[in-house]
Chain A
Amino acid sequence: MQTSQTPQDELYREAVATYGPALVRMARSWDADADARKDLLQEMHLALWRSMATFDNRCSLRTWVYRVAHNAATSHVLRGRRGRAKTFLSIEDAEAQGDLAARDQSHPALEQAQTVERLYALIQSLNPLDRQVILLYLEGIDAASIADVTGISSGYVATKIHLLKNLLADRFHNGGPYVQR
């Protein structure tokens, strides 16, 4: 039976068509476990669909989508944290730590895959807010929009991005051509 599409359904489809791939990357960044990641992705989509009933264009669709997805992911990770007593790092903590991961630079494709895997591992070690900053940065969002989505003052966003660039350069520059300081 074909159900008629409501405006909420239409908005949801539009959001997923544009930001669906970013949501998949976000879910993978938030949970290393494949089953839990699938649950998280469903939770994000459900939250997004429900949120579209109240979307009023007061902010851009992009800001709205990233906020809703991040809030759903924060709930997800804090639920897991209660059981596992996990400690999160900030970008500042991560920068102070060394990178202990081994790198295999023998093959370009393998190196790319390893770089992406190490990025995911780095993001998963960060606290929820810094995860959002690094994810938005990697998605190519500018600093002013990151401040808008996260609620962090633009000054601190600039500081965090500066630290983030140093961190990424330290960890990835020697392993390949992916980071410029």
Chain B
Amino acid sequence: MSSDNSPLCNLWQSQPQDLFQMSPEELRKKRKHLNRVLLIRDSTVWFVCLFEIGWFAWILMIVPQLVAKIGAILIMFGMAFMNSQVWLDQRRRRRSHERAETSGNINSLDFFRSELARQCEFHRGLWFWSRMAAFFPGLLIFSTGAIVVFPWPDNLVGYSILAVTVILFPTAVWLNLSKSRKYQREIDALDALKLPPA
């Protein structure tokens, strides 16, 4: 078994340590507990989604301007879309984790790579741009509408939302794309390890 019985390996293997074991009953209980935690997490996403939609539905009722109403409706749709995407991502991640963590048929490199690829995809491509497209137009129209009806200096909130939106959008794009590039570099390094060294 041993490829190298160096003193350091011997020292490593002979460390004194407490024995850790779990009975199958404890493991079944732990699995039930984990399932309950996941259910609560999923429910929280839906609760936040409903709260956000309710909040903008209330704004929709109280603002008289048509442009602001259109903006509020777009924001509601955008938030519902984003929440559904987050929920889908959670579900996909959970399933792939369950499959990979509990299968010895998936080697360490492939598992690590699939984790990085999933995180990379979250920050770029269709998955990322659809979130941006769903969220920002509504905010932009809503704040622009508020500014048109209540010009400076009566509508500080509208200007603030517009300013934040204008700054937030390119910042979000830059942050997400730089993160995805970082993940891609790690993925490329892993792919190289599958081949013999040059």
A2-43 contacts to B, CB under 8 A, are 3, 5-6, 8-9, 12, 16, 20-21, 23-25, 41-43
B24 and A9 form a contact (CB under 8 A): yes
Contact with B along A60-73 (1 / 0, CB 8 A): 00011101101110
* Chain A: number of interface residues, binned into ranges: 35 or more
Contact with A along B1-37 (1 / 0, CB 8 A): 1111111110111010111111011010011001000
Contact A74 to B115, CB < 8 A, known contacts A45-B22, A150-B107: yes
Contact A3 to B109, CB < 8 A, known contacts A137-B9, A156-B197: no
Q: Does B161 contact A (CB under 8 A)?
A: no
Residue B190 contacts which of A41, A46, A64, A129 (CB distance < 8 angstroms)? Answer: A129
Q: Does B111 contact A (CB under 8 A)?
A: yes
- Chain B: which residue is nearest A54 at the CB level? B103
- Chain B: which residue is nearest A27 at the CB level? B20
State in angstroms the CA–CA spacing of A41 and B17 once bound together. 13
- Chain B: which residue is nearest A142 at the CB level? B3
**Inter-chain contacts of B115 with A (CB < 8 A):** 74-75, 78
B108 and A71 form a contact (CB under 8 A): yes
Q: List 13 A-B contacts (CB under 8 A).
A: A3-B25, A9-B24, A24-B17, A24-B20, A43-B101, A45-B27, A46-B22, A47-B102, A90-B189, A139-B13, A141-B3, A150-B109, A156-B193
